[in-house]
Amino acid sequence: MKLIGMLDSPYVRRVAISLQLLGLEFEHQSLSVFGQFAQFQEINPVVKAPTLLCDDGSVLMDSTLILEYAQTIAQPRTLMPTALAEFRHEIKIIGLALAACEKAIQIVYERGLRPPDKLHEPWVTRVTGQLLAAFGALEKDLSRNSLAATSASITQAGVSTAVAWYFTQQMLPEIVSAANHPNLVSFSARAEVLPEFRAAPYGDGTYQPQR
């Protein structure tokens, strides 16, 4: 398998970390959907990161769908609980983390791609409120329910939460204050030292398996 996309994308990084935790071998090709559009298009005409090139040549996209496929081929290994109550809570946390990613990226794109005189402040204000609401809910949940942070015990909720927090702190620390989210800060610090996270560091580099 080959994972296509840059690790500065929380969605690509989420997949890279999860594939390792599931015990699946893969290659990683760091391509930008902006700077290397034509090269990316040759692999996936839709040019969507992450893209997973399967061993049979199939092209998959969307991080959640890629991870559904990964969990299927990794069975019985899984990053998801099976008991209904735990599963319901797991997907609640994943949903909040992915919402945070989406809103953070919308703000980054709004700032980086739209000319300053074209910025629509009501839209930015609305998205910022959604971003803060998502992280506020995650912080509140972490104050009551801890997330495991070891290679053997971390779940998809933990991976997604840690990746979403780290991305936002790299890109929008002035919007999402670390001081207001001590539980997320603590959890992120514990997750980021895991070998699977260190092998796929945030940025424009390439996944490097830990030897």
| Domain edges within the chain | 2-78, 84-196
Domain 2-78 has CATH 3.40.30.10: yes
* SS3 assignment, position 174: coil
Q: Burial-class residue 184 by CB neighbours within 10 Å (0-12, 13-18, 19+).
A: buried
pLDDT band at 211 (very low <50, low <70, confident <90, very high): low
User: 84-196: same fold as 2-78?
Assistant: no
Residues 6+ apart with CB under 8 A from 116: none
The model scores a pTM over 0.85: yes
Is pLDDT at 95 greater than 80 in this prediction? Answer: yes
Largest CA distance in the chain: 53
Distances (CA, A) of 121 to 87, 107, 184: 38, 11, 28
Fold classification of 84-196 (topology level): Glutathione S-transferase Yfyf (Class Pi); Chain A, domain 2 (1.20.1050)
Residue 210 above 90 pLDDT? no
Q: How confident is the model at residue 113, as a pLDDT?
A: 74
